């Protein structure tokens, strides 16, 4: 069982902003000038507390752009962060990806990031009328390994209105290859 003073310190650490506001209000009753200074320092500390998360987000975006495909577990190992925190960031990024060139999908209880070159190649072979198997064969160099990934990428791009119509259908493409 943890010692009482450690529990008290952790509670204060979690709720430091509320305690500080209460102290400032108490001090404001007796001396307004000191309370103003304390409020300024509190506001500065509060704003400074956002810097680590902004730096992490920038570092994560820079890291993601280096690879064709990344899974959340690999990112968690690289950054030595808990998987849940990485999944939360990936979820946040996936909610804002309509105008982005890359794609983040959720498949088999994990988030997977696909680089913009991977998505461009996918769109290129999709428009040519390739079937899932042919698309998979063409994207082996981009570390896509399963048809399930192809399906999820296709569904996500359609959902985001980023996938245009095929130039020829899969059936026409097969007939063209068969009679060529």
**Domain boundaries along the sequence of the chain:** 4-49, 56-173
> Which residues does 46 contact at the CB level (< 8 Å), separation at least 6?
17
pTM assigned to the model: 0.70
Q: Which residues pair with 39 in a beta bridge?
A: none
Given pLDDT bands bounded at 50, 70 and 90, which one contains residue 24? confident
Both structure tokens of 98: 């309509």
b/e map 133-163, b = 16+ CB within 10 Å: ebbbebbeebbbeeeebbebbbebbeeeebb
What sign does the CA torsion over 125, 130, 136, 141 have?
negative
Residue pLDDT, tens place only, 115-170: 999 999 998 888 888 888 888 888 888 888 888 999 999 888 888 888 877 777 77
């Amino acid at each position: 069982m943890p010692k009482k003073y450690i529990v008290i310190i952790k509670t204060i650490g979690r709720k430091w902003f509320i305690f500080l506001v209460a102290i400032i209000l108490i001090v404001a009753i007796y001396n307004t000038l000191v309370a103003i200074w304390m409020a300024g320092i509190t506001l500065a500390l509060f704003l400074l507390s956002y810097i680590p998360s902004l730096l992490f987000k920038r570092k994560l975006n820079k890291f993601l752009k280096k690879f064709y495909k990344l899974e959340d577990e690999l990112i968690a190992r690289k950054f030595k962060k808990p998987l849940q925190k990485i999944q939360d960031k990936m979820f946040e990024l996936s909610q804002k990806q309509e105008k982005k060139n890359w794609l983040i999908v959720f498949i088999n209880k994990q988030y997977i990031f696909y680089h913009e070159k991977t998505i461009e190649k996918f769109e290129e072979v999709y428009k040519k009328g390739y079937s899932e198997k042919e698309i998979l064969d063409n994207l082996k160099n981009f570390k896509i390994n399963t048809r399930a990934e192809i399906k999820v990428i296709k569904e996500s791009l359609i959902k985001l209105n980023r996938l245009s119509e095929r130039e020829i259908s899969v059936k026409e493409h097969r007939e063209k290859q068969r009679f060529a």
